[in-house]
């Protein structure tokens, strides 16, 4: 668990917490960000996590705990989400690469491994395309190339138009199976617990700012220029991001690796140990990790 910091009036100090993690409120390029840092081996680049829409950094605590404890990890709340104050005006994904670069500067890191999930996968792609010098390796989980992607069914996507699932626990449980697939089809209460028991709620406009940020954004024409080592991870039951998008991205990103896992959109939190092992294998192997270079891994072929 991470100890929560004081309100953002105090920007510079840090707060120690158990497990070698601490929270800080940092001023980065004119924005106040709530940042969690786990110190790690200084000879390894840290892992920078970019969250999905509307969720605070606590959601992926199980994933962080499942990683090698020697791996440094940086998490943050987007402006208007979790504990980061909302900006005065909306922003766009195309403008956010300097924000991540400034965050790494503040923490004293020249480069990082970058993992983005869902909406955060778009942010991770944008950062890797705009600032490849700051990205060591790239992991894209349950994400797509933006506006030019194969969308989920309208019945599913309509649930994403408002933050209601983040504000109403019963509603989250009701829509979980249809919206997230995977583990929560059999246990929809799991989605409710992940979204409400472990995360911190921000103002509603923060969610809408994230929606606005992705309007008309796409990485698709530029994916062949993405030269950083890239692992694409996709669930075989993800109603929000159909699996075909991962295959398209795999075909366009040079020398990328595709890992298809059994599960849905929330598996990085719901089945953290299983997915963390695949991420660790990719980040630590100097060459193409065995078992991650095929369209279906050994795990994927068992179904």
246 and 223 Cβ atoms separated by less than 8 Å: no
Q: How many CA atoms lie within 13 A of 282 on its CB side?
A: 27
Q: How far apart are CA 293 and CA 150, in angstroms?
A: 23
- Under a CB-based contact definition with an 8 Å cutoff, are residues 35 and 103 in contact? yes
84 annotated active-site: no
Which residues are paired to 260 by β-bridges?
Answer: 234
Asked if residues 269 and 60 have their Cβ atoms less than 8 Å apart, the reply is: yes
Q: Which residue has the tokens 């995360």?
A: 199
Asked if 268 and 117 count as a contact pair (C-beta separation under 8 A), the reply is yes
- Cβ neighbours of residue 290 closer than 8 Å, sequence gap 6 or more: none
3-state secondary structure of 57: helix
What single DSSP character describes residue 25?
A: E
Interstrand relation of 47-50 and 73-76 (parallel, antiparallel or unpaired): parallel
Which residues have CB under 8 Å from 38's CB, separation 6+? Answer: 19, 20, 21, 64, 71, 72, 73, 74
CA distance readout (Å), 185 to 39, 46, 157, 242: 36, 34, 17, 16
Which one is catalytic: 56, 84, 118, 219? 118
Count Cβ atoms below 10 Å from residue 264 Cβ, excluding itself: 26
Rounded CA separation 53/164 (Å): 12
List the catalytic residues: 118
């Amino acid at each position: 668990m991470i100890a929560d910091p004081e309100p953002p009036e105090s920007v510079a100090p840090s707060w120690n917490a158990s497990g070698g993690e601490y929270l800080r409120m940092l001023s980065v390029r004119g924005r106040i960000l709530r940042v969690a840092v786990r110190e790690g081996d200084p000879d390894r680049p840290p892992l920078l996590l970019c969250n999905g829409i509307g969720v605070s950094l606590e959601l992926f605590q199980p994933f962080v705990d499942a990683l090698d404890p020697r791996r440094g990890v940086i998490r943050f709340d987007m402006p208007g989400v979790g504990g980061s104050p909302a900006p005065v005006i909306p922003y766009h994904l195309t403008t956010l690469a300097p924000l991540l670069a400034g965050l790494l500067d503040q923490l004293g890191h020249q480069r990082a491994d970058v993992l983005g999930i869902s909406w955060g996968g778009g942010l991770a792609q944008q950062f890797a395309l705009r600032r490849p010098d700051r990205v060591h390796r790239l992991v894209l989980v349950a994400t797509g190339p933006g506006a030019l992607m194969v969308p989920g069914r309208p019945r599913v996507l309509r649930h994403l138009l408002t933050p209601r699932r983040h504000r109403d626990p019963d509603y989250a449980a009701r829509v979980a199976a249809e919206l997230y697939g995977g583990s929560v089809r059999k246990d929809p209460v799991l989605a409710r617990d992940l979204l409400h028991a472990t995360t911190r709620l921000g103002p509603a406009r923060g969610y809408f700012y994230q929606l606005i940020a992705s309007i008309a954004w796409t990485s698709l024409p530029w994916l062949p220029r993405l030269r950083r080592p890239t692992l694409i991870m996709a669930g075989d039951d993800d109603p929000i991001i159909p699996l075909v998008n991962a295959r398209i991205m795999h075909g366009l990103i040079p020398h990328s690796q595709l890992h298809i896992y059994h599960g849905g959109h929330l598996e990085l939190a719901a089945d953290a140990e299983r997915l963390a092992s695949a991420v660790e294998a990719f980040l630590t192997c100097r060459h193409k990790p065995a078992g991650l270079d095929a369209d279906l891994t050994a795990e994927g072929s068992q179904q």
